[in-house]
Amino acid sequence: MTSTQIREQRPTEPGPEDDYDLHSNIGYLLRRAHQCGSAAFQHADDTGLSVIQFATLASLVRSGPDSQNSLGRSVGSDAATTKGIVQRLHKRGLVDIHADPTDRRMKTIEITDEGRAVYARGVRASRESSEVILAPFSPGERTILVEMLQRIVATEERHLGHGQ
């Protein structure tokens, strides 16, 4: 089909989608905000961690040793992604992986001393990148934004049965 034929097939009457504004779509905006946040974290970070790797270490610091499945749920990651994250952290010596003595399919993940040191450096990067992202907002707006985003996450976690 030629480009002329494609143009001829387009409707000539405006449709309801003609006034659609992608830049007002919440999913698109959240994706772009995530990209901005990831870029700010990478810029501030000297650990070489991605945001999800940092979140995984943060979860282990908070919870202590955890099953790989539970760890993935705590950071909002599916099983396959969590497995890759854990493998990369293990390769760097930041976590240890232990087989469950009663069920070899189960893995328990534990942060190492090196992982705690890298996590501590990552906290600085996380705080710095949050400041960069939130710079355009007043303190009150920052609080409201964070609370609204937390509500979105909590609603989805309840919907999926992952609430903590």
Burial degree of 40 (CB within 10 A; 0-12, 13-18, 19+): buried
Tens of pLDDT along 138-150?
A: 999 999 999 999 9
In order, the DSSP letters of 7-65 are: HHHS-SS--GGGG--GGG-HHHHHHHHHHHHHHHHHHH-SS---HHHHHHHHHHHHH-S
Angstrom distance (rounded) from CA 147 to CA 92: 34
Angstrom distance (rounded) from CA 96 to CA 86: 9
What architecture does CATH give domain 46-159? Answer: Orthogonal Bundle (1.10)
Given this model, what pLDDT does residue 22 score? 87
Angstrom distance (rounded) from CA 152 to CA 160: 12
pTM of the model: 0.79
State the residue for tokens 């609430």: 163
Write out the two tokens for 6. Answer: 């494609």
Tens of pLDDT along 106-151?
A: 889 999 999 999 999 999 999 999 999 999 999 999 999 999 999 9
Mean pLDDT per 10-residue interval, the chain, length 164 residues = 62 71 89 92 89 95 94 92 96 94 87 97 93 95 95 85 56
Write out the two tokens for 11. Answer: 């409707």
Domain extents in the chain: 46-159
